[in-house]
Structure 1
Amino acid sequence: MAHEGSAPATHFENPGLPPHRPRQADVNPAAAKRAERQIVVLFAISIIGTIGTVVAWSLVPPGDTPSSMRLSNFLIGFGLFLSLMGIGAAAVHWAKTLMNDHEKVEMRHQQRSSDETRAAAVEVLKEGAADSGIGRRGVLKGAAVTSLALFPLAIAVPLIGDVGGSWDVSKLKHTIWRKGVKLTTDPAGRPIKAADVTIGSVFHVIPENLEEVDAHDRLNQKAKAVVLLVRLDPKDLKEAEDRKGWSYDGIVAYSKICTHVGCPVALYEQQTHHLLCPCHQSTFDVADGAKVVFGPAKRPLPQLPIEVDDEGYLVAQSDFHEPVGPSFWERLK
């Protein structure tokens, strides 16, 4: 410690490295063998987790009910946890018990090393591989390679074949909205009269014919067909010439599926007529064709053409005139 008025220190003595403290595995072959068996068990847990994930994807699909979804998500998530945890814990335990733990100091050199230094670096890498003990521990090497080789299956299998879902993109181009289908409240399914929609009010809407869909496919069809219904003062509404007949007395209906990555767009700000996507803050102007005014979305929300039937209920004129949701490879716009 410098005293008041003394000259500042210009250098410090190198304290050096602390003495190396050998581990049990360094001095006791039995401890080293025990650590090796523990690492093999951890890699085996990873292998079991990967296989379990694939089996869960195949035999326990999400289904259409909350309970089946919870069970499927739990089994898949638990399998992925075991798969990743096993690899990570095995790698950490391996490094702490079997790999070389001697601290080494390498002096700083110019950025471009000499050929001799580079050759020495290769030798160091070879020495490190030897220190890890993988060359003389066949069971450990086999467990590590097997767990690492199998782990990608936990991600790849759900993306291929029927296990990953249907790749028929034609199903994404249409919904079950048809001419004359009533707009009903979600989830009650109560038909909506135009007279019940006041300026500034918002309705979450599903098609009346949703109950006619097979129960196995009902959730998928609902996910594509959900709509947000809003009534504005007609003088605030800006409509393109080809869409002037798509609304009714200031009532407009737009898909709730964000055109960015498909999150539900359901946060409506009455004063600005803005719809906000809670996932990535894409913002759409309901008063101006649901055009994007902020955020990563690149396209307006698709509009559902609506009209009123003889009883005063709001009904669809047709399906959406464009695919709903985010882009896919066969979408033209």
Structure 2
Amino acid sequence: MCSRYLGFFLLVWFPGALHAQSAALQCAAPSLDHGNFVPVKETYSHDSKLTYACRNTHKPAVEGWWAEIVCQHGTWSHTPRCIEEKACIPPTIANAKYTEASEGWYKEGHIIRITCDKGYEHKDNIATAKCINGTWSSLPMCEISIKSCRAPPKIPHAIIVDQGYQELFLEDAEVKYECEDGYSTEGSHKKTLFCLAGTWTEGPMCRSSSTSANRPLFIPIENCGTRPNVPNGVVVEEHRMYLKFQCNSFYKQVGEDTVSCYNDGSWSKLPVCEDAFCVMEPGHYDRGLDLSVTEYIKEGETKYIPCTWPDYSVAVHCSNRRITYTRCCTTYDHHRGTCS
């Protein structure tokens, strides 16, 4: 008997509760002076989108001449507002702060003053901007201070500990290095670098613990004389204690990318830049392909070379320095994967 009444009560109560919950998620139509919005309704359900624009002499208080708001759990994503065309919306200035207007926009003639974040400084000593006819005049910028440091140097056989990744370090910041297992530096396993006047102090050189007694010590690279040459590679970073190489395009690196100087005046082992491309020489190929110039294809790359017939091409793929290519097909067939 009780269960029968309970079931009846739930049938009556649930629809009412669900209706109340649905109503709570709805948004009322917003008010918008000097503007219009579509679609026009009395209420809007959750996730509904509403587009609005402003009439002559006014503009939305956001970027662009029209804007969109979304109903989220009974609240609009932002309050639509039309402001005078000569007013300014808040500017976006990286690595800086300034006093925000309580209305969310600034009247013509208003002047803002920015404060750069720690580690940054005003570029060209410009710290203010003025709203003129709806646009900010000469927006100030914050650039990295000459006393701050970029990312710390990479040290062979060492890792950074107790420090999360960051792009900028303030003056006097410190970074702790730890040698990999089997390596040490000057009898220790750890060393700390400091950011001083925009430059990192000299880093540790981690040497193999098992052979450190027989291995020459590293010294500044200026003691090794002529810089080493890595065919098809270039120096991308020069440090007091090492050179860092990078292979050119179409080549892959084998071995360590950093080179150091031993105290006997010799360089440590150089990296090697191996070929990482395929070559198709000029000539006639089967499947309707004629080449008048040499084609180079990067390792792992697929290149589309025109056939003798208009709007047809061959897909040439380079893998392990070996070339495979399809028959002549249209772009549509290539994208469908039906060309082989």
TM-score by length of 1: 0.24
More helix by share: 1
Higher relative contact order (CA 8 A, sep 6+): 1
TM-score by length of 2: 0.23
More strand by share: 2
